[in-house]
Amino acid sequence: MGAEAILRVDGLSMYFPVYRGVLRKKVGEIKAVDEVSFDIAKGETLGLVGESGCGKSTTGRAILKLYDPTAGRIELQGKDITDLEGDALREIRTDMQMIFQDPQACLNPRMTVGSIIAEPLDEHTRLKKRQKRERVRELLNAVGMNPDFENRYPHEFSGGQRQRIGIARALALEPKFIVCDEPIAALDVSIQAQVVNLLEDLQKEHDLTYLFISHDLSMVRHIADRIAVMYLGRLVELAPRQQLYTMPRHPYTKALLSAVPEPDPAREAVRERIILKGDVPSPANPPSGCNFSTRCPIAEEKCRRETPAWREMDGGRFVACHMVQ
């Protein structure tokens, strides 16, 4: 991590309280995100992978301050934004934006495409009507759409086009950092490639930094520079792409990667799958010690007692496992 970090997340935790009973007594909490720490360097793409419900999206949203984190520290461009509120928070939002998973739901069906993309401009700039329209048309052009579509409504577009509109909106304020929350999960495969390529082009052009949340390992391999793997609210491994895919260290990462099918039939035939037993424990009641210890093929007594520390290994790799030396 030689380059300066644009985003630094330190011990970020997001617990959701669980209330029960007539008196709405707090009976526990869901540890959606638990002590997550990582840096993202300027211009880099950090992939965040994990299975459904492991807290990927919550991490992304907590970083953007869409939730109030329970604990931890978020630093954007060296500035602590964890406790910002009101106008100060609004101001910082111009530097960080989000691209959403569901292109159907992320655009207001009652607004024209033009006014959807212009919303960030309305909120943060004092452009004249004419300049605003020019900017909107420019943005539509930048994401590969006909600028004349500005008068149309979201329902008139396909999923891929709608995702482009969402990207144009995220770009409107020229942010430095964008959280892509599974931006391709709801698209079909041919469109996925287009959108990912568009994201890459835009990154080069505008010097963007991405946190790319996905469960599609092959897509993350394509776009991300470094990859973080999450399990049950905790990071288990973070490594540069090449290292992670060729030599995963954490048993969960190994199992996860072994599930990726090989395009080559000869290699596919000899692919060894590590099949995990059991289900993911509930985040309301995580196991003691290592979160993964209930399903880990190599777990020992120590794993069930002590939570493994988030350790830095050689080559910029981080692992949270007692068994990895």
Partner 1 sequence: MSDIVVEEMPEHRSLWGDVWSQFRTHKGALVGTLVFLFIVLVVVFGPYFHTIDPQFLDIRNKNLSPSWEHPMGTDNLGRDTLAQVMAGGRVSLLVGVVAMLLSLVVGAAIGVLAGYFKKLDGPLMRLTDLFLALPLLPLLLVIIMLFRDTLRSAFGPETGIFILIVFVIGITSWMQTARIVRGDVLTIKEQEFVVAAHSIGTPSRRIISRHILPNVLSPIMVSATLGIANAIITESALSFLGLGFPSDFPTWGRLLYDGANFMQLTPARVIWPGLAISLTVLSVNYMGDGLRDALDPRIRGR
Instruction: Give the footprint of partner 1 on this chain (CB under 8 A).
Output: 61, 64, 66, 89-91, 93-94, 96-98, 100-102, 105-112, 114, 119-120, 123-124, 133, 137, 146-148, 150-151, 153, 155-156, 166, 169
Helix H, strand E, coil C: the string for the chain is CCCCEEEEEEEEEEEEEEEECCCCEEEEEEEEEEEEEEEEECCCEEEEECCCCCCHHHHHHHHCCCCCCCEEEEEECCEECCCCCHHHHHHHHHHEEEECCCCCCCCCCCCCHHHHHHHHHHHHCCCCHHHHHHHHHHHHHHCCCCHHHHHCCHHHCCHHHHHHHHHHHHHCCCCCEEEEECCCCCCCHHHHHHHHHHHHHHHHHHCCEEEEEECCHHHHHHHCCEEEEEECCEEEEEEEHHHHHHCCCCHHHHHHHHCCCCCCHHHHHHCCCCCCCCCCCCCCCCCCCCCCCCCCCCCCHHHHHCCCCCEECHHHCEECCCCCC
The least CB distance from residue 34 to partner 1, in Å, is 22
Nearer to partner 1 (CB atom), residue 8 or residue 152: 152
Nearer to partner 1 (CB atom), residue 130 or residue 204: 130
Q: Return d(Cα 244, Cα 259) in angstroms, integer.
A: 14
The least CB distance from residue 158 to partner 1, in Å, is 12
Residue with tokens 């509109």: 165
Nearer to partner 1 (CB atom), residue 70 or residue 112: 112
The least CB distance from residue 166 to partner 1, in Å, is 8
Nearer to partner 1 (CB atom), residue 151 or residue 197: 151
Nearer to partner 1 (CB atom), residue 163 or residue 291: 163
The least CB distance from residue 150 to partner 1, in Å, is 8
The least CB distance from residue 119 to partner 1, in Å, is 6
The least CB distance from residue 230 to partner 1, in Å, is 20
Nearer to partner 1 (CB atom), residue 169 or residue 176: 169
- Number of Cα atoms under 13 Å in the Cβ half of residue 120: 23
The least CB distance from residue 280 to partner 1, in Å, is 24
Nearer to partner 1 (CB atom), residue 8 or residue 133: 133
The least CB distance from residue 260 to partner 1, in Å, is 28
CA dihedral 84, 86, 90, 92 (to 10 degrees): -20
Nearer to partner 1 (CB atom), residue 133 or residue 135: 133
- Number of Cα atoms under 13 Å in the Cβ half of residue 198: 26
